[in-house]
Amino acid sequence: MEIEPFKDKIREITKLTQEEIYELIEDEQKKVIGTLHEKVALMRIVVNIYHDSHDITLFDEIKNYMELIDKDICYSENLDINTVKWYICQPDNLKLDFVTFGFGSSIELYECDCSLFLKNRICSHVEIYKSKSFDPCFIPDSIDHYSYYDGIEPDSFTLKDLLKEYPRWVLEYLFERWNEFYSVHKLANILETSSSLLTKLLGLLHAYRKNRNVDVRNRIVSMIKNKDLDVLWLTCEATDGGLTIFPEIPKNSSQFKFVHLEDNFLTFLPDSFANFVAVEKLHLQRNSLESLPESFGSLTSLIELNMDHNRLRTLPATFGNLTLLEDLKIKNNNLRALPNTFGNLESLKSLDLSNNKLISLPETFYNLSLLESLNLSNNKGLYISDSIDNMKSLKKLNLNSNGYLTFPKPICYLELLEELSLVSNKLKSLPECIGKMTSLKYLNLNNNLIETYPLSLCNLKKLEFVRLGSYSYSIIPDFLIDFLIDLEANGVNLGISPGRFYELKQRR
């Protein structure tokens, strides 16, 4: 980017002197946090001047330094379709390092193909999108993004007003919600339009969504065929708000190491998904997966797998083939059982199975000898086998909210365990064997019904954080008060207010 021609253009339009232009650039540089390069400041000034003057030639010159990010459509009163385009200035366009942009220094430009914009470089379509914080890269966005429009009802508008007020992606969301409560005929009456015109609009919205889905799938296929890519990033932002069907994967797709598919609406994966044979990190969280194909076990290079917040009921028997897997997250699903092959995951170090419906674990589960962190919370009534003492590497164990009436004694023999949480169960006592857990640094027993404490609890000399669930005077024995006083003197977090702790000490 050459600076002088733009300075000449600014002088031509604004009639400012060269000294005044330099002052303008300095003022622009002060508006952002960080270092704003002179070229960036100048481009921002030129864009602002364009917005004020709507100079046609200036628009064309600016576009040379802008990159088309995405586009969307808008509708006129008679449902003619116009396209709105959104451009931003990338660092490469100005031949700059990204860090020179500075925080808050974005440069963006809108364009519309309607006759009014072509003539005056301004139109209501662009203004609608700008006023609703239009960002095509995030359309349609997550439900959280739409929540702002949940209170809008059709009796507040005519169709004519609606088309003037809201962009396509908001219209799509509103009509999807309204159609649950109103017939087309009723909705047309409310919006003071004809059923035929409303039907036409709904058809246009549906067609646009269908076409964009096709475009997304084609784009994905193109990305998969690109041998220069090793990361496939297809979160909801990259797939226009939700991929429902994943395309077939070619057999020669071994270049990808990382695949991100979180925040979509996938209900299943094709058998050909197994052709991602080299993938090491796979993110599938926050989809709607109910099962995995048997071929999933062919992803034998996997090291990290996240399937949180899906609807999985089972895992295929081939899941045990993922022997290099070290980090596995499957919380917030509907798992009722694990396959017997689960114990073959011999490299597993971190496992989160919280918020499922597991009531037992296969005996092979306890073969996970390298497992260091295990979260089994919110699995009501989950039985813990004596074989858990085979998990010699376990350091963190979470059994919160499992409805336990008695302390699961097998965990007492996890001699290397450093963190244990049994919050929100129904424990009434602790076993004598808890004293064997001499490596414990963190012990949380809050929200239980504990009435008796064993003397062996005083063996836990390494505690740095402890919550005993109750500090009632009538429950805590004298030996435990002495132990708590010693812990407090060593800086251990007891979760007791200073006043209450003073009263406890006074009891001694």
Residues 6+ apart with CB under 8 A from 200: 79
Spatial distance between the Cα atoms of 453 and 150, rounded to a whole number of angstroms: 52
Per-residue pLDDT of the chain (508 residues; tens, 9 = 90+): 556 666 776 666 667 677 776 677 777 666 655 556 666 777 777 777 777 767 777 777 777 777 777 778 888 888 888 888 888 776 665 655 554 545 455 677 888 888 888 888 788 888 887 776 544 444 444 444 566 777 889 998 899 989 888 888 788 889 988 998 999 999 999 999 999 999 999 999 888 878 877 777 788 888 888 888 889 888 765 666 567 888 889 888 888 999 999 988 899 999 999 999 999 999 999 999 999 999 999 999 999 999 999 999 999 999 999 999 999 999 999 999 999 999 999 999 999 999 999 999 999 999 999 999 999 999 999 999 999 999 999 999 999 999 999 999 999 999 899 999 999 999 999 999 999 999 999 999 999 988 889 999 999 999 999 988 765 555 778 888 888 888 888 888 887 777 777 777 777 6
Largest CA distance in the chain: 89
* Cα torsion angle, 369, 375, 377, 380, sign: negative
Distances (CA, A) of 64 to 38, 46, 61, 433: 18, 13, 6, 74
Q: Taking each helix axis as running N to C, give the angle between helix 18-29 and helix 38-53, from 0 to 180 degrees, rounded to the nearest 10.
A: 110
What's the CATH architecture for 225-350? Alpha-Beta Horseshoe (3.80)
The structure tokens 């164990």 sit at: 397
b or e along 225-256 (b: 16 or more beta carbons within 10 Å of the residue's beta carbon)?
Answer: eeeeeeebebebebbbbbbeebeebeeebebb
Residues of the chain with CATH 3.80.10.10: 225-350, 395-508
What is the Cβ-side half-sphere exposure of residue 255, based on CA atoms within 13 angstroms?
13
Q: Report residue 385 as tokens.
A: 């086998």
Whether the model clears a pTM of 0.85, i.e. scores above it, the answer is no
State the pairing for strand pair 81-88/67-75: antiparallel
Element (H, E) at 211: helix 195-224
* Cα torsion angle, 180, 183, 187, 190, sign: negative
Highest CATH level, class, for 395-508? alpha beta
